[in-house]
Amino acid sequence: MAETMNALDLLARDHREVEDLFTQYEATTDTERKTEIAHQVVHDLAVHGEIEELRFYPRLREVLDNGDALADEAIEEHLAIKNTLNDLDSMTAEDDGFDDRMRELMAEVRHHVQEEEGELFTGLRQALDEEELQTLGEKLERARSMVPTRPHPGAPTSPGAKAAASPPVALIDRIRDAIRNAGD
């Protein structure tokens, strides 16, 4: 892939893609399309959150003085997001409260993105050079194909515990994705 693997660019690109899906959601009244967009958002954010927890926050803890505090806060925000994603995952736009959940998600994600791209990205940009950011980006990209693709609010957030718990979950998620995609 010719694209940059700079970790911060890669995560920011994920953020822009989800924001774009939010914009598409807000622009449609078609319930089938709304469901489709929401389930894409669920998938994309589940994967994004997993790779951050697995590879990004641990690095943050290593290199920033306040890395532990920043990572803990981000993981707490992830939990709120995962809970909302989990609700949306089992709903369709025909269900009562779907729009409300989606609006809640947008607010949570916009807040999280702002925090992440602010203090957190700024700190890492100062602490790591371009080569280190590239290496981290490559690790994030590699993790993408291995992590669970659905929200699991009760699952462990530390890399060690994930290594043990995630693989079977990731496999089942991909089977569920295949079934859902076949139905769409």
Of 75-83, 115-123, 124-132, 149-157: span binding Fe ion (CB under 5 A): 115-123
Minimum distance from residue 11 beta carbon to Fe ion (Å): 5
Is 36 or 116 the residue whose CB approaches Fe ion more closely? 116
**Three-class SS state of 146:** coil
| Nearby residues of 40 by Cβ (< 8 Å), 6 or more positions away | 21
| Nearby residues of 19 by Cβ (< 8 Å), 6 or more positions away | 110, 113
Q: Which residue number is nearest to Fe ion in terms of Cβ?
A: 116
| Separation between Cα atoms, residue 79 and residue 154, nearest integer Å | 9
Is 34 or 43 the residue whose CB approaches Fe ion more closely? 43
Q: Helix 31-51 and helix 159-183: axis angle, to 10°?
A: 160
| Separation between Cα atoms, residue 104 and residue 84, nearest integer Å | 8
- Residues 57-96 as x/- pattern, contact with Fe ion by CB under 5 A: ----------------------------------------
Of 25-33, 35-43, 116-124, 169-177: span binding Fe ion (CB under 5 A): 116-124
Q: Which DSSP string do the residues of 26-50 spell out, in sequence order?
A: HH---HHHHHHHHHHHHHHHHHHHH
> How many residues bind to Fe ion according to rule CB under 5 A?
1
Of 86-94, 113-121, 131-139, 151-159: span binding Fe ion (CB under 5 A): 113-121
**Three-class SS state of 155:** coil
**Three-class SS state of 1:** coil
Is 45 or 102 the residue whose CB approaches Fe ion more closely? 45
- Residues 144-183 as x/- pattern, contact with Fe ion by CB under 5 A: ----------------------------------------
Of 61-69, 76-84, 114-122, 150-158: span binding Fe ion (CB under 5 A): 114-122
List interacting residues with Fe ion (CB under 5 A): 116
